[in-house]
Amino acid sequence: MFPLSHPAVRWLEHNCHYQYMDELLQYIRFGLMDVDTLHTVALSHPLVQASETATALVNEALEYHQSIYAQPVWQTRRTKPRFQSDTLYIIGGKKREVCKVKELRYFNPVDQENALIAAIANWSELAPMPVGRSHHCVAVMGDFLFVAGGEVEHASGRTCAVRTACRYDPRSNSWAEIAPMKNCREHFVLGAMDEYLYAVGGRNELRQVLPTVEQYCPKKNKWTFVQSFDRSLSCHAGYVADGLLWISGGVTNTAQYQNRLMVYEPNQNKWISRSPMLQRRVYHSMAAVHRKLYVLGGNDLDYNNDRILVRHIDSYNIDTDQWTRCNFNLLTGQNESGLAVHNERIYLVGGYSIWTNEPLACIQVLDVSREGKEEVFYGPTLPFASNGIAACFLPAPYFTCPNLQTLQVPHHRIGTI
- Tell me the percentage of the chain whose pLDDT exceeds 70: 85
276 pLDDT above the threshold of 50:
yes
326 band by pLDDT with thresholds 50, 70 and 90 = very high
pLDDT number for residue 355: 85
**Nearest Cα residue to 58 out of 80, 81, 82, 25:** 25
Torsion 249-250-256-261 (CA) sign: negative
48 pLDDT above the threshold of 90:
no
111 band by pLDDT with thresholds 50, 70 and 90 = very low
pLDDT number for residue 154: 81
Q: Are 127 and 174 in contact (CB under 8 A)?
A: yes
The arithmetic mean of pLDDT across residues 123-137, rounded, is 94
Q: Are 131 and 152 in contact (CB under 8 A)?
A: yes
pLDDT tens, residue by residue, 364-392: 999 999 988 999 999 989 999 999 999 99
Q: Are 205 and 160 in contact (CB under 8 A)?
A: yes
pTM for the full model? 0.90
pLDDT number for residue 112: 46
102 pLDDT above the threshold of 70:
yes
Q: How far apart are CA 159 and CA 42, in angstroms?
A: 50
68 pLDDT above the threshold of 90:
yes
pLDDT number for residue 5: 42
Kindly state the helix (H) or strand (E) to which residue 247 belongs, with its residue range: strand 244-248
* pLDDT: which is higher, 340 or 109: 340
19 band by pLDDT with thresholds 50, 70 and 90 = low
The arithmetic mean of pLDDT across residues 58-63, rounded, is 91
289 pLDDT above the threshold of 50:
yes
- Tell me the percentage of the chain whose pLDDT exceeds 90: 66
| DSSP character at residue 342 | E
184 pLDDT above the threshold of 60:
yes
pLDDT tens, residue by residue, 221-255: 999 999 999 999 999 999 999 999 999 999 999 99
Per the prediction, the chain carries an average pLDDT of 87
386 CB burial (10 A radius; 0-12, 13-18, 19+): buried
Q: Are 376 and 329 in contact (CB under 8 A)?
A: yes
pLDDT tens, residue by residue, 81-101: 876 678 899 999 998 766 788
pLDDT tens, residue by residue, 353-370: 988 889 999 999 999 999
Q: How far apart are CA 264 and CA 141, in angstroms?
A: 19
103 C-beta neighbours (distance < 10 Å), count: 21
124 pLDDT above the threshold of 90:
no
173 pLDDT above the threshold of 60:
yes
Helix (H, G, I), strand (E, B) or coil at 30: helix
30 band by pLDDT with thresholds 50, 70 and 90 = confident
Q: Which residues pair with 208 in a beta bridge?
A: none
* pLDDT: which is higher, 55 or 409: 55
Q: What is the 3-state secondary structure (H, E, C) of 183-241?
A: CCEECCEEEEECCEEEEECCECCCCCECCCEEEEECCCCEEEEECCCCCCCECCEEEEE
Q: Are 69 and 85 in contact (CB under 8 A)?
A: no
The arithmetic mean of pLDDT across residues 110-125, rounded, is 55
